[in-house]
Amino acid sequence: MFQLVLSGLALGCVYCLVALGYHITFVTSRTLNFAQGSAMMLGAVTCLILVVDLGWPMPLAAFAAILTLGVFGLILEQLAVRPFVRRGSMAWVMSTLAVGIIAENLAQLVFGKVPRGLPSELAREPVTIAGAGIYPLELLIPVVVLAVAVGARIFYGGTMLGRALRATAYDREASLAVGINVDLMVGLSYALSSMLAAVGGVLIGPLIGVSSSMGFLIGLKAFAVAIVGGLEHPVGILIASLAFGVMENLIGGSFGSSVKEIFGFGIVIVVLFVRPTGLFGRMSMRRI
C-alpha cells in the first residue's frame, strides 16, 4: 500500500512534468502541443541510444537528450503551430497530433518495435523504507520535480528572459508594445515544454521500459491532469498530477489497467462537470 503510494507519487511527478508543458504553451500562445507524449518518448529513446548504443555516461546522455528535445520543440513550433496560428486557424490541433504520429513512427524505424530497458544505477536494487521496497530513482523523481519548480521560479522571477516569457503569457499585445519578441517567446515556450517532457521520459524510462509507443497514453493522461488542475495553474497541475498518479496506482494495483482508465478518465469528466475550468481554475467573466 505504502509502496503503491510512493511509486504513485513518482508517476504523478512524471505526469506533472509533461503536463506543465501543456501549461507553458497554453499561457503564451493559447495553443497546446499534442505531441507532448511523443516528446517524452523521444527524450527517453534518445537517452537510451546514447547510453546503450554509444556508451555515453547517463548524466551526459540525459542532458544531451533534453537539449535535443528543446530543438525539437523549436522546430515543431515553427513548422506545425506558427503557420496555423497566424491564419487564426485551429489546425494546430491536427498538425501537432500528426507530428506526434510522425515522431512515434520515426522512432519505431530507428529503434525497432521491441521495448528495451534503459539501464540505470538507480533502478537496480530497491531500497526499503518503512517496509516498502522502492527504487532510489522513484525517490529521485520528486526531487527533480522540486528542483524544476525552484528553477522555474528563479527563471521567471529573476531573469529578463523569464520575465519576458511571463509578460507574453500575461498580455500578448502589451508585450509586443514594450518590444518583447513574442514569436521568440512562443518558440521558447515550445522548446521548454518539450524539454520538460524529455526530463519526464529520461526519468521514467528505467522504470517502465522504453518503446516508441510509451508516450501516447502518458501524453493523454498528462493532458487530463493539466485540464483537471486548470491549464493556467501550475500548482493546481502539480496537485492534480500527484493525486492522479497515486490514485491510478492504487486502483490499478487491485483492479487492473482497464478499470484504472475507466476510473481515471471518469473522474476527469466528473471534475469538469463540477468545475468547468479545472479544480484550481477560476471562471473568468466574459468580456463583452
Partner 1 sequence: MRGTVGPWMWLIAVVAAVAVAWALPSVVGRYYTQMLSLAGIYVIVAQGLNLLVGYTGQPSLGHAGFYAIGAYTGALLATKLGMSYWAALPLSMAAAAVSGLIIALPTLKLEGPYLAMVTIAFGIIVNSVAIEWSELTGGTQGVLNIPRPVIAGFRLSLEGQFVLIVAMAAVITLLLRNLMRAPWGRSFVAVRENPIAAEAVGLDTRAVKTVAFTISAALAGAGGHLFAFLQGFISPEAFEFDASIFFLTMVIFGGAGTLAGPLVGAPLMTFLPELLQRFVDFRLIIYGLLIVGSLYALPRGVIGTLFRRTLMLPEITPGRTQYAAAGRTGAQPAAPPGKPIVTLRDVHIGFGGVRALNGVSFTVETGTVHALIGPNGAGKTVLLNVLCGYYPPTRGEVALAERTLTGLAPHQVARLRIARTFQTAQLFGEMTVLQNVLLGFQGRSSGRLLESFLVSSRLVREEEERRMAALELLAFVGFQGDPRALANSLPFGHQRLVEIARALALAPSLIAMDEPAAGLNPREIEDLDLLITRIRDSGIAVLLVEHHMDLVMGISDRITVLDHGERLAEGCPSEIQADPRVIAAYLGVKDAAETPLT
Span interacting with partner 1, options 86-94, 119-127, 150-158, 161-169, rule CB under 8 A: 86-94
Residue 56 CB, shortest distance to partner 1, in Å, is 27
Smallest CA-to-CA distance from 98 within 84, 115, 117 is with 84
Any contact of residue 223 with partner 1 (CB under 8 A)?
yes
d(CA 13, CA 222): 10
The H-or-E segment that residue 209 falls in is none
* Residue 123 or 220 having the CB closest to partner 1: 220
Any contact of residue 247 with partner 1 (CB under 8 A)?
no
Any contact of residue 110 with partner 1 (CB under 8 A)?
no
* Residue 183 or 277 having the CB closest to partner 1: 277
The H-or-E segment that residue 2 falls in is helix 2-29
Binding mask 36-65 for partner 1 (x = CB under 8 A): ------------------------------
Q: Of the candidates 71, 101, 146, 154, which one interacts with partner 1 according to CB under 8 A?
A: 101
Any contact of residue 266 with partner 1 (CB under 8 A)?
yes
* Residue 184 or 271 having the CB closest to partner 1: 271
Task: State which of positions 267-286 bind partner 1 (CB under 8 A).
Answer: 268-269, 272-273, 276-278, 285-286
Task: State which of positions 189-208 bind partner 1 (CB under 8 A).
Answer: none
Show the cell assigned to 265: 478518465
d(CA 210, CA 213): 8
CA dihedral 66, 47, 202, 45 (to 10 degrees): 110
User: At 124, which amino acid appears?
Assistant: R
Residue 218 CB, shortest distance to partner 1, in Å, is 13
Span interacting with partner 1, options 13-21, 105-113, 122-130, 153-161, rule CB under 8 A: 105-113
Smallest CA-to-CA distance from 68 within 45, 52, 51 is with 45
Contact between residue 80 and residue 98 where contact means Cβ atoms under 8 Å apart: yes
* Residue 92 or 135 having the CB closest to partner 1: 92
Smallest CA-to-CA distance from 99 within 79, 70, 85, 113 is with 79
d(CA 120, CA 139): 14
d(CA 104, CA 113): 11
d(CA 89, CA 266): 30
CB atoms closer than 10 angstroms to residue 76: 27
Q: Of the candidates 95, 120, 168, 241, which one interacts with partner 1 according to CB under 8 A?
A: 95
Per CB under 8 A, residues contacting partner 1 are: 26, 32, 79-80, 83-84, 87, 89-91, 93-95, 97-99, 101-102, 104-106, 108-109, 216, 220, 223-224, 227, 231, 256, 258-259, 261-262, 265-266, 268-269, 272-273, 276-278, 285-286, 288
